[in-house]
Amino acid sequence: MKRSYSEYSAKEDFLWLILRPWIFIPRVLYILLTFIFLFLRILFQGNSKNKNVQKNLSKYLFDVITDLGPCFIKLGQALSTRPDLVRQDWLTELTNLQDNLPAFDHKIALKIIEEELGSPANELFEEFPDSPIASASLGQVYKAKLNNSYLAVKVQRPNLYFLIRKDVVILRFLGTFLSPLLPLNIGVGIGEIIDEFGKALFDEIDYQKEAENALRFANLFKENPNIFIPKLEKQFSSKRVITTSWIDGVKLRDRFLLEKNNLIPASFIKTCVISGLQQLFEFGYFHADPHPGNMFALKGGNADCGNLAYVDFGMMDTITNSDRLTLIKAIVHIINEEYYLLAEDFQKLGFLTKEQDLQKLVEPLKEVLGGSFGAEVGNFNLKNVTDKFSKLMYSYPFRVPSRFALIIRAVVSQEGLALRLDPEFKILKIAYPYIAKKLLTDNSDEILDILLEVVFDKKGQIQIEKVESLLNILFKDSENINSDLIPAANAGLKLFVSKKGSEVRKNLLLSLIKDEKLEFTDAKKLLTLIRDTFNPLNIAKSAVQNIISTV
């Protein structure tokens, strides 16, 4: 069976390029020499305190990445979202990689539109500009007008399939060849990770797939008043041209720009993170390229949750139901400091081999995660943990499963975006309560099983400390208790009296029996905890806050 034009195949694409040494050898040498010169310049000038030196160096870095082409621009975009990894003066320049790249010839764009849509742009639209409003790694966007409404017309860069096919092969070749020399230990992952990157890029240059992705993503968020997805204009879309409604918003790249437009940065951070968690833990389908050029702050919303628009649905990915539930379990095990069970989760996810002695990893995991989680959720910093994890991965047989490459990229990009808007932002300050709320309000069989693991130990006894920890995470110092308390109370009550709650009722009864005697101590503690958390005063206060917030 013949593969489609834009489908990635590591073996076939490598064979295609290796049979063309006049393309392969010069390109490999050019990339290697470019990075050697870049490394030497950073080595000698990177620590300079001279502002002009740093300004020139950041411009040189931008020029190097743009000159190397779309594959490297995509990698640079990931760096452009990390203010904790990249100097601020370099970051300012790298931000241009998101949607401020040199445009390609306007005449070529017009020719592509005519070839793809069957008519010239000036016949298809009432107004079509003479230049693009934005230019990114794979295409450039025009603001056209039709029926008194504005549309975003994205036109793909010429010769893109050849450029990406060539460079993905070379990246895989260099990555595999040089990986033993790098201070990393990602097991067999580097070639497989580049394969995932290649597949995602090949999908991204097929705008028909992007159109399908946009429709699917919009359907998932159709009930969410804070998330907006531009409307697809099918009659003006094809394999190399995609047209959507125009989004009139502010890019999430600068807190001062948001404040200048009377928008509250923190509100958009929360919407961004919660929508990302929904994609990962509820939908199993997520936007894998959430950089500031693809996300816009819109007017409306409120101080707690701002209105957010997503654009560009070329790089999307899925997570299996099994992996999704294991990740939720892993977060619960981190909360409860159950490091052996966490090691089991890593094993199920493929970060550890089945032969690995998990007991040996308990102390190292505790050392890496123990000081960053638990009661000090607000002090969590992903970079600190990933730095420690890098050392752990080098010392122990951790590997990065290729299917997690885009998930990690999306999470890291999203946290980086939030850090740009708020340097003090801690992702788990939002993520922890979200997981706690999901455990307490989602009555699916799978989530119920996880909740039972938290409430009862293997002997069926109530784990008061863990229940208290779960409730504290959700309600202690909550900034939005009015939206958390009542749903959790309602869901808990419904669960307890439902058929699904039979397991909960049975375990509660069994927990009263200790050494063949009735023991009410733990039950009293649980009732006291529930009474204190869900007391009428709190619920009344929550109800009033709900009414006020809707007025």
Per-residue pLDDT tens for 332-358?
A: 887 778 889 989 998 999 888 888 888
Residue 417 shares a structural domain with residue 446? no
Contacts of residue 382, defined as CB under 8 A and 6 or more positions apart, other chains included, come to 411, 412, 415, 427
Residue 411 shares a structural domain with residue 519? no
Tens digits of per-residue pLDDT, 484-528?
555 555 555 555 555 655 666 556 555 555 555 445 566 666 666
Mean pLDDT of 150-155: 96
Mean pLDDT of 400-414: 79
Confidence of residue 449 (pLDDT cuts 50, 70, 90): confident
Lowest mean pLDDT among 431-435, 465-469, 518-522: 518-522
In the residue annotation, 289 being an active-site residue is answered as: yes
Confidence of residue 237 (pLDDT cuts 50, 70, 90): very high
Whether the per-residue pLDDT at 243 is higher than 90: the answer is: yes
Whether the per-residue pLDDT at 385 is higher than 70: the answer is: no
Residue 147 resides in a domain: no
Pairing of strands 285-287, 316-318: antiparallel
Q: Return the structure tokens found at 420.
A: 């740009």
Residue 177 resides in a domain: no
Whether the per-residue pLDDT at 255 is higher than 50: the answer is: yes
Lowest mean pLDDT among 152-161, 267-276, 371-380: 371-380
Length of the chain: 551
Residue 396 shares a structural domain with residue 334? yes
CA separation for the pair 83, 416 (Å, rounded): 6
Residue 422 shares a structural domain with residue 451? no
CA separation for the pair 199, 403 (Å, rounded): 11
Residue 402 shares a structural domain with residue 509? no
CA separation for the pair 298, 290 (Å, rounded): 16
Residue 489: φ, ψ to 5°: -65, -45
Whether the per-residue pLDDT at 40 is higher than 60: the answer is: yes
Q: Mind giving me the DSSP string for 472-533? A: HHHHTT-S-HHHHHHHHHHHHHHHHHSSTTHHHHHHHHHHTEETTEE--HHHHHHHHHHHHH
Lowest mean pLDDT among 119-123, 249-253, 524-528: 524-528
Residue 421 shares a structural domain with residue 451? no
Tens digits of per-residue pLDDT, 97-111?
777 788 899 999 999
Range of the domain at 89: 10-97
Last residue of a domain, one of 362, 391, 426: 426
Residue 458 resides in a domain: yes
Mean pLDDT of 306-313: 92
pLDDT of residue 208: 93
Q: Return the structure tokens found at 341.
A: 């069970």
The catalytic position among 289, 312, 317, 484 is 289
Q: Into how many domains does the chain fold?
A: 3
CB atoms under 10 Å from CB of 107, counted, come to 8
Whether the per-residue pLDDT at 480 is higher than 90: the answer is: no
Whether the per-residue pLDDT at 158 is higher than 70: the answer is: yes
pLDDT of residue 234: 93
Residue 493: φ, ψ to 5°: -65, -45
Residue 265 shares a structural domain with residue 409? yes
CA separation for the pair 158, 15 (Å, rounded): 23
Residue 501 shares a structural domain with residue 413? no
Residue 454 shares a structural domain with residue 419? no
Whether the per-residue pLDDT at 432 is higher than 90: the answer is: no
For residue 75, what are the CA distances in angstroms to 45, 98, 180, 499?
A: 22, 11, 21, 50
Whether the per-residue pLDDT at 96 is higher than 70: the answer is: yes
CA separation for the pair 218, 212 (Å, rounded): 10
Tens digits of per-residue pLDDT, 59-81?
898 899 999 988 888 888 777 66
Whether the per-residue pLDDT at 419 is higher than 50: the answer is: yes
Q: Are 440 and 470 within 8 A, CB to CB?
A: yes
Top pLDDT among 316 and 406 is at 316
Last residue of a domain, one of 29, 64, 97: 97
Residue 363 shares a structural domain with residue 265? yes
Q: What is the pTM of this model?
A: 0.79
Q: Which contacts (CB < 8 Å, 24+ apart) does range 370-375 have?
A: 370/337, 373/334, 373/335, 373/337, 373/428, 374/335, 374/337
Q: Return the structure tokens found at 87.
A: 């100097």
Top pLDDT among 35 and 502 is at 35
Top pLDDT among 87 and 285 is at 285
Residue 347 shares a structural domain with residue 422? yes
Give the mean pLDDT of the chain.
Answer: 79
Residue 67 resides in a domain: yes
Mean pLDDT of 120-142: 92
Q: With pLDDT > 70 as the criterion, what percentage of the chain qualifies?
A: 72
Nearest-Å Rg of the Cα atoms of the chain is 26
Top pLDDT among 114 and 328 is at 114
Residue 372 shares a structural domain with residue 301? yes
